DNA sequence: ATGTTC
């Protein structure tokens, strides 16, 4: 990134002052090395987002940011409905409510080390993975609507988990305001057979060990000790989210023109929050959030069954479940005023600071668990919402390592087979239906996740709690 | 991310 137009606010904060059509500045939270390595398109995209009607404070990019559809991935932007604010399908992304859920296994490294190959095989057999994969469930129209309204709560009531799971999920497992009638028949049809499936791309199920603790107090609150084994699921709303994104993007291109919104980029298509289309999109997007929460709940059940094959009687309670592709209505204080905002987080994790009323009581003293999925074969991280430093970017943090190159470039550089073999030699077992997918997800196709989370911490977005090392990865 | 181009 050419930084000549940027002003450095602090060692980990870079401001692109408002100019031209920008209504607010753009701000990137990153180290100098990370921001210099970012594509110039990230700067162009935050400038474009900053020009949208009703945006407040700034258009933000997290340290893992990279070029995306309209909005950068790793982007955060909040809008005020009372000031003509908009909602944008491209600001949420196509994989609506893609997110990360971590489960405690109660096992230690020594318990699983010798069983790793069997664990990998059992998980791979039970977890449907890959493009177009289908699950054991076939939802009727009535069940589909109940799922879209109920999210993980619907899944728990259908036998896919325990009541206790719900307290460890954002929104207590059920996003309010979902409108199944705003979801097209096509979107429902695509999802009918896909509940309880991992999908493809960067989605995975990983068995991990807590390698090192960085914040003992928060680790204790989260129930983490060195040597603990976790199971982590990274996936989203499958075909449904993608179809909703496609449907509404098309409608928003027309609606934006009709509302007289000049779009700097067609991919920023949006609708006023205070409009019929804006309300319908929010209803459909919230239904897709519930779809993703239900999907991760069903995958949790499959994961528990797989572990129980090797460890009879085992329980896998939730650590937490975060969604990192959403638009959520939240209250934030701006210039001393409490305001109701619609916060788009696209490849960005909500990161409530300590004391937030929506956090489970046992986490309230240390802040929200922020689950960071690393790239395949590299570390993942648990962070805590910005305790002590105050919230930034509407209480948001990074979501992963962030791609450092395109899938195309990764395919040119690596072969899936050798990536699998090299990771196996390091004790990391990969199981995937797609060697091509594995090549696209090669560890070096991503930024250094350690540098990303360090920048997130030093920018004040979140605090590092624990680093996790992968043992087994079921790759979609 | 994605029935990888209705």
Residue-wise pLDDT for A46-60, tens only, equals 999 999 999 999 999
pLDDT of residue A81: 97
pLDDT of residue A386: 85
| Count of beta carbons in the 10 Å neighbourhood of residue A264 | 18
Distance of alpha carbon A150 from alpha carbon A290, whole angstroms:
6
Proximity of residue A406 CB to strand B below 7 A:
no
pLDDT of residue A135: 93
Query: What is the sign, positive or negative, of the torsion defined by CA atoms of A98, A203, A62, A271?
Result: negative
pLDDT of residue A373: 95
pLDDT of residue A388: 64
Q: What is the mean pLDDT of residues A239-257?
A: 96
Chain centroid, CA A15 distance in Å: 25
Cite the DSSP H helix spans in A274-415.
276-310, 407-413
pTM for the model stands at 0.98
On whether the CB atoms of residues A146 and A154 are closer than 8 A, the answer is: yes
Rounded, the Å distance between the CA of A107 and C1' of B5 is 47
* DSSP per residue, A154-189: HHIIIIIS-HHHHTTBGGGG--TT--GGGS-HHHHH
Within 33-92 of chain A, which residues have Cβ less than 7 Å from strand B? none
Proximity of residue A446 CB to strand B below 7 A:
no
Distance of alpha carbon A174 from alpha carbon A160, whole angstroms:
15
Question: Homologous superfamily of A1-86+94-473 in CATH?
Answer: tRNA-splicing ligase RtcB (3.90.1860.10)
A300-327 pLDDT tens trace: 999 999 999 999 999 999 999 999 999 9
Q: What is the mean pLDDT of residues A393-401?
A: 97
Question: Chain B bases under 7 Å from protein CB?
Answer: 1-4
Rounded, the Å distance between the CA of A193 and C1' of B3 is 12
On whether the CB atoms of residues A238 and A194 are closer than 8 A, the answer is: yes
Among this protein's residues, is A399 annotated catalytic? yes
Q: What is the mean pLDDT of residues A332-361?
A: 95
pLDDT of residue A41: 95
pLDDT of residue A396: 97
Proximity of residue A239 CB to strand B below 7 A:
yes
Rounded, the Å distance between the CA of A362 and C1' of B5 is 49
Question: Does the pLDDT of residue A351 top 70, yes or no?
Answer: yes
pLDDT of residue A202: 95
Q: What is the mean pLDDT of residues A269-286?
A: 97
pLDDT of residue A468: 98
Chain centroid, CA A255 distance in Å: 28
A104-161 pLDDT tens trace: 999 999 999 999 999 999 999 999 999 999 999 999 999 999 999 999 999 999 999 9
- Position A450 confidence tier, pLDDT thresholds 50, 70, 90: very high
Question: Does the pLDDT of residue A378 top 80, yes or no?
Answer: yes
Compute the mean pLDDT over every residue in chain A, rounded to the nearest whole number: 96
Rounded, the Å distance between the CA of A126 and C1' of B2 is 23
* Residue with the two structure tokens 């603790």: A213
Query: From the candidates A66, A332, A399, A408, which is the catalytic residue?
Result: A399
Proximity of residue A238 CB to strand B below 7 A:
yes
Between the CA atoms of A162, A171, A246 and A139, what dihedral angle is there, to the nearest 10 degrees?
30
Proximity of residue A129 CB to strand B below 7 A:
no
Burial A215-240 (b: 16+ CB within 10 A, else e): beebbebbebeeebbbbbbbbbbbbb
pLDDT of residue A313: 96
Establish how many alpha carbons lie within 13 A of residue A396's alpha carbon, considering only the half-sphere containing its beta carbon: 35
Question: Does the pLDDT of residue A18 top 90, yes or no?
Answer: yes
Within 170-189 of chain A, which residues have Cβ less than 7 Å from strand B? 186
Proximity of residue A296 CB to strand B below 7 A:
no
Distance of alpha carbon A271 from alpha carbon A279, whole angstroms:
9
Does A402 belong to an annotated binding site?
Answer: yes
pLDDT of residue A390: 80
A453-463 pLDDT tens trace: 999 999 999 99
Does A308 belong to an annotated binding site?
Answer: no
| CA nearest to nucleotide B1 C1': residue | A95
On whether the CB atoms of residues A349 and A369 are closer than 8 A, the answer is: no
Proximity of residue A201 CB to strand B below 7 A:
yes
| CA nearest to nucleotide B2 C1': residue | A242
Q: Rg of the Cα trace of chain A? A: 21
Q: What is the mean pLDDT of residues A273-297?
A: 98
Q: Who's near A282: CB < 8 A, 6+ residues apart?
A: A87, A177, A179, A273, A327, A342
Pair type for strands A429-431 and A462-475: parallel
- Which long-range contacts does A431-434 make (Cβ < 8 Å, 24+ apart)? A431/A120, A431/A121, A431/A123, A431/A124, A431/A472, A431/A473, A431/A474, A431/A475, A432/A129, A432/A130, A432/A474, A432/A475, A432/A476, A433/A129, A433/A130, A433/A133, A433/A476, A434/A130, A434/A131, A434/A200, A434/A475, A434/A476
Helix (H) or strand (E) holding A396: strand A396-397
pLDDT of residue A73: 97
Phi-psi region at A164: left, alpha or beta (left = phi > 0; alpha = psi -120 to 50) = alpha
Does A31 belong to an annotated binding site?
Answer: no
């Amino acid at each position: 990134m050419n930084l000549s137009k940027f002003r450095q606010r602090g060692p980990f904060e870079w401001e692109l002052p408002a100019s031209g059509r920008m209504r607010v500045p753009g701000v990137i939270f990153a180290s100098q090395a990370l921001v210099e390595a970012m594509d110039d398109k990230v700067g162009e995209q935050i400038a474009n987002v900053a020009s949208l009607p009703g945006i407040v404070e700034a258009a933000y990019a997290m340290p893992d940011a990279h070029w995306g559809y309209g909005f950068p991935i790793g982007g955060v932007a909040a809008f005020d409905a009372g000031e003509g604010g908009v909602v944008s399908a491209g600001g949420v992304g196509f994989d609506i409510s893609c997110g990360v859920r971590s489960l405690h296994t109660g096992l230690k490294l020594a318990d699983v080390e010798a069983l790793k190959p069997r664990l990998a095989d059992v998980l791979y057999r039970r977890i449907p993975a890959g493009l177009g994969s289908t699950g054991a469930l076939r939802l009727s129209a009535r069940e589909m609507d109940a799922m879209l309204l109920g999210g993980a709560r619907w899944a728990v009531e259908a036998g896919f988990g325990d009541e206790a799971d719900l307290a460890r999920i954002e929104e207590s497992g059920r996003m309010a305001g979902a409108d199944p009638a705003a979801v097209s028949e096509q979107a429902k049809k695509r999802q009918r057979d896909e509940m309880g499936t991992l999908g493809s791309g960067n989605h995975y199920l990983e068995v991990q060990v807590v390698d090192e603790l960085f914040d003992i107090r928060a680790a204790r609150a989260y129930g983490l000790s060195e040597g603990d084994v976790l199971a982590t699921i990274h996936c989203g709303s499958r075909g449904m989210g993608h179809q909703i994104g496609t449907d509404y993007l098309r409608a928003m291109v027309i609606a934006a023109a009709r509302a007289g919104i000049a779009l700097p980029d067609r991919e920023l298509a949006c609708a006023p929050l205070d409009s019929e289309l804006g309300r319908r999109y929010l209803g459909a997007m919230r239904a897709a959030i519930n779809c993703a929460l239900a999907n991760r709940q069903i995958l949790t059940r499959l994961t528990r069954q797989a572990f129980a094959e090797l460890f009879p009687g085992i329980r896998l309670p939730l650590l937490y479940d975060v969604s990192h592709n959403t638009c959520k209505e939240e209250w934030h204080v701006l210039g001393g005023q409490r305001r109701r905002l619609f916060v788009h987080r696209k490849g960005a994790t909500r990161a409530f600071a300590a004391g937030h009323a929506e956090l489970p009581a046992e986490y309230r003293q240390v802040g929200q668990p922020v689950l960071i999925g690393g790239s395949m074969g590299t570390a993942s991280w648990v962070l805590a919402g910005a305790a002590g430093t105050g919230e930034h970017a509407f209480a948001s943090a990074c979501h992963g390592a962030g791609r450092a190159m395109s899938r195309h470039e990764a395919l040119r550089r690596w072969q899936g087979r050798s990536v699998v073999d090299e990771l196996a030699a390091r004790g990391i077992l990969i199981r995937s239906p797609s060697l091509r997918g594995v090549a696209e997800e090669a560890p070096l196709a991503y930024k250094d996740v350690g540098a990303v989370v360090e920048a997130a911490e030093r920018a004040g977005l979140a605090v590092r709690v624990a680093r996790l090392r992968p043992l087994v990865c079921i790759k979609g």
